[in-house]
Structure 1
Amino acid sequence: MSPLSPYLSVEPRHVDQGSEWVGPVSAVNIRGRFELAFVTIGGCCLAGAGFGTVNGLRMGLQATQNLAWSKPWNVQVLNMVTRQGTSWTNTLGCVALLYSMCGVAMEKARGTEDDINTVAAATLAGALFKSRGGVQGAVRGGLFGLAVSGFYSLYNNWDHLKSRLPHLY
């Protein structure tokens, strides 16, 4: 007979000591695009906050380099840090949200997850994000999304491409 657990007041042999993850038995251990959307959006928001904070500190110190240290100087630098941090967080968070929404929609519509979804979602997200700049802005945003996602897809599949086309490198 095993001893009673001091924390649960139950016998440990009655508690299943199996996996610590809860999920369907037939589930594959690969995260879907919808589940990865939360990580993508949160990561982009944190990256935007970090970049914006550093950029705001740089801009604030540059703008106040001729001033002696005082409370107004301190407030001006902190305001610049806060403005830039929130601005970049908002921008990257919106782009990540659009990308994730388009990616989930593409996956559901096509019924498969591949690099075509990634490239199409990034292109559409870039076009939607810059659409308030008119057709020209939407085209620029779409081309930027296409370029970034194209490079990502090439990087992600580089080993596969090298094995298929050995004469290119």
Structure 2
Amino acid sequence: MSSFPPADQTSNTSFYSQSDTVNVSDILGNVDFGSAQIRELAGLGTGKLGEIEFVQVDDVPMTAGPIASRGVLDDLCYGTGTTYLAGLSFGGLWGLVEGTRGPNSNFKLRINTVLNSVTRRGPSIGNSCGILAMGYNGINGVITTIRGRHDAVNNIAAGALVGAIFKSTAGIRAMSVASVVCASAAAAWTYTFRHLQ
């Protein structure tokens, strides 16, 4: 039935003896990776009491206050992300309230109305808030770089400019209103931020 001859068990064991077998514990048994060896391999040295007290990520100093910042790009990313999420949440709640107030008595139609309202309001308001925050932080960074200091004047000017640019296609009146609203919001944020420090 089988064309292969039976394996000779004695010939296989003659090549290897029990003493030639190597286990993982044999390899790693004599290796000692204590904290001193790991610290030495990483090039950290031994500080006071052999502990690392502080590792600085980069050379850019962080600003003090409730929201630590490393600079313009950090503010741009953090501000855009948090403002987008806040706008998305607010728009979603607005859509939820708007959808539940509809005249539909059928449960499936009411659920469909709520979902449509949430998905229409949430992303729309979130995107608008994210664009405003990105423009505000970008303009604020440019003004800060040009003036060489970061103060309330930069924040209010950036708010006014981003509001005017955001509504620039809607006419002079809408531009003026958006500019005043965004400058007021920037002034309120600056005032609150200064008093939280």
Q: Tell me the TM-score normalized by structure 2.
A: 0.69
Q: Partners in 1 of 2:106 and 2:166 — Cα distance? A: 41
Select 1:94's aligned residue among 121, 128, 131. Answer: 131
Residue 188 (structure 2) aligns with: 151
For residue 48 of structure 1, report the CA deviation from its aligned partner.
0.9
| Unaligned runs of at least 5 residues, structure 1 | 160-169
Indicate yes or no: 2:177 matched with 1:140. yes
Query: Share of identical aligned residues, percent?
Result: 26
Aligned length, in residue pairs: 152
Indicate yes or no: 2:69 matched with 1:43. no
Residue 103 (structure 1) aligns with: 140
For residue 13 of structure 1, report the CA deviation from its aligned partner.
3.2
Note if contact 2:95-2:119 (Cα within 8 Å) is conserved in structure 1.
Answer: yes
Q: 1:156-167 residue pairs with structure 2 within 5 A?
A: 156-157=193-194
Computed over aligned residues only, the root mean square deviation of the Cα atoms, in angstroms, reads 2.5
Amino acid at match of 2:122: G
Q: Partners in 1 of 2:105 and 2:90 — Cα distance? A: 25
Residue 11 of structure 1 aligns to a residue whose secondary structure is helix
Amino acid at match of 1:22: V
Q: Partners in 2 of 1:63 and 1:5 — Cα distance? A: 67
For residue 135 of structure 1, report the CA deviation from its aligned partner.
1.1
Q: Partners in 2 of 1:20 and 1:63 — Cα distance? A: 56
Residue 12 (structure 1) aligns with: 38
Q: 1:23-62 residue pairs with structure 2 within 5 A?
A: 23-24=58-59, 27-30=60-63, 31-62=70-101
Amino acid at match of 2:161: L
Q: Tell me the TM-score normalized by structure 1.
A: 0.79
Amino acid at match of 1:98: G
For residue 60 of structure 1, report the CA deviation from its aligned partner.
0.5
Amino acid at match of 2:88: A
| Unaligned runs of at least 5 residues, structure 2 | 1-30, 45-50, 64-69
- The structure with the largest alpha-carbon Rg is 2
CA shift in 2, pair 1:11/1:158, >3 Å: closer
Query: Deviation above 4 Å: which 4+ runs of structure 1?
Result: none
Residue 67 (structure 1) aligns with: 105
For residue 93 of structure 1, report the CA deviation from its aligned partner.
0.7
Q: Partners in 1 of 2:169 and 2:85 — Cα distance? A: 25
